[in-house]
Amino acid sequence: MTEKKYLTMREASRKAQVPEYTMRYWETKFRLLRPLRLASGHRRYTIADVETLLEIKDLVFVKGYSLDGARKALSAKKRQKKPAAAMPAAPVVTKATLLDEIKKDLRQLIQEL
């Protein structure tokens, strides 16, 4: 059985073992926690949202961080992940080198004909 793509607030609350009212409050304090909102106003959480909830819960309840400290720790962690996940920059191709490559390819095609 495949896991659902979106979870209701109750399902996310049970997975993270955090009360729903705490999740609502954390949404106001943490920018990283932004569940999808349906037109009816109901929240839908992704697995990434639940993982963020678990990280916040660990920082606040286990490690004793304040909400401000947990927010700073999470944002620092996300900043560290970005450069590692970013793809290496493509080599810079100038118009001259591109034209040279096209000329080579055309010469090879002419020779083959």
Task: Tell me the H-state helices in 17-94.
Answer: 20-29, 47-57, 67-85
CATH at 46:
1.10.1660.10
27-69 residue pLDDT tens:
999 988 999 999 999 999 999 999 999 999 999 999 999 999 9
Domain assignment present for 1: no
70-89 residue pLDDT tens:
999 998 988 887 665 555 55
Q: What pLDDT does residue 83 have?
A: 60
Q: What pLDDT does residue 80 have?
A: 84
Task: Tell me the mean pLDDT in the region 12-34.
Answer: 94
Residue 2 has pLDDT above 90, yes or no: no
Residue 102 has pLDDT above 60, yes or no: yes
What backbone torsions phi and psi does residue 60 show, to the nearest 5 degrees? -80, -50
Residue in 60, 68, 74, 88 with CA at minimum distance from that of residue 32: 74
Domain that holds residue 55: 9-112
The total domain count for the chain is 1
Domain assignment present for 71: yes
Q: What pLDDT does residue 4 have?
A: 78
Domain assignment present for 91: yes
Helix or strand holding residue 43 (H, E): strand 43-44
Q: What pLDDT does residue 91 have?
A: 61
